[in-house]
Structure 1
């Protein structure tokens, strides 16, 4: 046994062993690193200043929630501020009901130059098909949801695309999950933009303010975001009747809005029904009330790796209003009748503009649920 150990030790020297280990550890990494670097398309050094500002605006908005959370935690590190912060949180969680009573929209904030840079990044715009008289309330149904709904934000939560000029007298309120209004500071920014809770009470309170009041509901919600992929328009709409019932109860005209390009600004990993990824996402949605799409876009300094949206044109076509007869207790027959008219108008918009704004589509618009 000692002789065998001696032979083994003489057969492989220490220096030779180090060389072999070094070659084994370094050889596979070189092509991987080179491949990764080759696949990332970096932003060139010479880019127009305006485009850089546009990208910075989108990056800032995409990071706003995290910035607000970080700021609040930072302020919590100063004990003298604890009474102020505690009072603020008590106000947020217990007293302030603004998210369900119409918010506190600021026209100055909605019209800031920052939002113009934000919308010009894609660019985002809208097509107006018909005048909307400001003598009645409106419910705008926005499709598709996309990953985040950047087109809805640009058109209905800011004045960057000129909504107030094209539809004078109408005050839009984009609606979102009530949980977003529990985030310190972020909730105040949302309300300055006119964004409110999507709860039933919020819809009734806003539309109950009378002529010119309007809400925008991204109808497909979290479920539809799981189907958002470039070149497709798969809508979750068939069983979504709540927004139609709200419109009938409040006597608000329904206005379908189809946003071409909303699904094109992010790539999403495969998550078809039956896969473990889809099952996990649906379970997450059932527990937390929202879903978690696994997606990617571009980065701040590159064009194909990151969480910023791609520069893809978004055009929201605001269709013709569907007049409804007000009823405190609408029958299912009436709701179904209005839904049929709504879907027909949505299909008309798609068929009219698809060859202009969806040239790279992979398939036609489809209602999957």
Structure 2
């Protein structure tokens, strides 16, 4: 039986829903729509727009790997506040960050669409700049998306940058400091495990971000986003199933995973692509001091990686009961 959403709700809730519709459409559709528009313009009297953009694209090709191009008007757009209030999403600080220092943060878990990562670090929907004054957040994203015409401008405006090492070196080498580089460590592969009640992280063999922290002497920040896996349901795809096999092969070929997820609709709660209204609380842990080492050994990388996992577990254990995680639930690493 279909459970219908009530029509007589406050205007504020309708605006929140529209904000999510806008975000979902942009996240899932713009990457396809933008190249269609770009190519289609060549066959119209507006062909010169695509020609001019192509020239701009070529001249601007290095920007995504050199810190991007944040647009504060876009980040402070009112619609992001409605997006944050829909769930709601909140950002919790456990320690101060020095604006004269650069940081590299690991964000966990990926979730299906990384709602918490986007809302907290690509928008001012949760007032990031007020919570961490003097800090500029940059969220890493697959380089593939910065090759999509027009769409690249949109995602760069929110502070998204490429996942290339050159980009990491550029941001973490800034002498003035104040850069927070956020890495969703589990990547798109971890999204295949994103479902309510799951606390499985793809982290045990993910050590690249730790090595980069050592190379640049950048403190490591563990971040856990409670509720990230609760906002969508996903079709069962256990390890060894045919569906998981197909998804993992596609992930290796395309670089992106394709979780088969569903949520609710605009006017009913049973099916659709809108996320459920489930609270997401992103807790930023205390910085782990890192001594710069231009040539770290594998043992040094392993040691810091183990310390990072320990601090992440401590962060999870210290806050889990506040955010409806059962006391007997613990993080599982793969």
TM-score (norm 1): 0.85
- Given candidates 79, 91, 94, the residue that maps to 1:114 is 79
SS at match of 2:129: helix
Q: Distance in 2 between matches of 1:70 and 1:346?
A: 39
- Given candidates 44, 48, 52, the residue that maps to 1:87 is 52
Q: Distance in 1 between matches of 2:208 and 2:304?
A: 12
Q: Distance in 1 between matches of 2:85 and 2:13?
A: 9
SS at match of 1:190: helix
1:165 alignment counterpart:
130
SS at match of 1:325: coil
Are the equivalent residues in 2 in contact too, given 1:64–1:186 (CA < 8 A)? Answer: no
Are the equivalent residues in 1 in contact too, given 2:103–2:180 (CA < 8 A)? Answer: yes
Q: Confirm or deny that 1:55 pairs with 2:17.
A: yes
Q: Distance in 2 between matches of 1:196 and 1:244?
A: 18
Q: Confirm or deny that 1:285 pairs with 2:247.
A: no
- Given candidates 296, 307, 329, the residue that maps to 2:273 is 307
2:322 alignment counterpart:
356
| Greater mean deviation of Cα atoms: 227-236 or 63-72 | 63-72
Q: Distance in 2 between matches of 1:72 and 1:226?
A: 27
- Given candidates 273, 294, 310, the residue that maps to 2:260 is 294
1:9 alignment counterpart:
none
Q: Distance in 2 between matches of 1:105 and 1:334?
A: 35
Q: Confirm or deny that 1:252 pairs with 2:218.
A: yes
1:322 alignment counterpart:
288
* Shift in Å, 1:67: 4.5
* Shift in Å, 1:81: 1.4
* Shift in Å, 1:361: 8.2
SS at match of 1:226: helix
1:334 alignment counterpart:
300
Q: Distance in 2 between matches of 1:134 and 1:194?
A: 17
* Shift in Å, 1:185: 2.1
Q: Distance in 2 between matches of 1:362 and 1:299?
A: 33
More contact order relative to length (CA 8 Å, sep ≥ 6): 2
The CA RMSD over aligned residues, in Å, is 1.7
Rate the CA distance shift 1:160–1:269 in 2: closer, same or farther, 3 A. Answer: same
| Greater mean deviation of Cα atoms: 355-364 or 201-210 | 355-364
Q: Distance in 2 between matches of 1:72 and 1:229?
A: 31
**Higher alpha-carbon Rg:** 1
2:36 alignment counterpart:
73
Q: Deviations over 1:32-71 (max 9, x none)?
A: xxxxxx2x21221211111111111111011115257436
1:15 alignment counterpart:
none
Q: Distance in 2 between matches of 1:179 and 1:275?
A: 28
SS at match of 2:140: strand
Are the equivalent residues in 2 in contact too, given 1:231–1:361 (CA < 8 A)? Answer: no
1:7 alignment counterpart:
none
SS at match of 2:6: coil
Rate the CA distance shift 1:361–1:271 in 2: closer, same or farther, 3 A. Answer: farther
Q: Distance in 1 between matches of 2:129 and 2:8?
A: 36
2:148 alignment counterpart:
183
Q: Which runs of 5+ in 1 are unaligned?
A: 1-37
Are the equivalent residues in 1 in contact too, given 2:31–2:145 (CA < 8 A)? Answer: no
Are the equivalent residues in 1 in contact too, given 2:320–2:326 (CA < 8 A)? Answer: no
Rate the CA distance shift 1:91–1:47 in 2: closer, same or farther, 3 A. Answer: same
Q: Distance in 2 between matches of 1:248 and 1:70?
A: 40
Rate the CA distance shift 1:340–1:56 in 2: closer, same or farther, 3 A. Answer: same
- Given candidates 161, 184, 190, the residue that maps to 1:224 is 190
2:69 alignment counterpart:
104
- Given candidates 153, 167, 170, the residue that maps to 2:118 is 153
* Shift in Å, 1:334: 1.1
Q: Distance in 1 between matches of 2:145 and 2:229?
A: 22
Aligned length: 330
* Shift in Å, 1:209: 2.0
Q: Confirm or deny that 1:201 pairs with 2:166.
A: yes
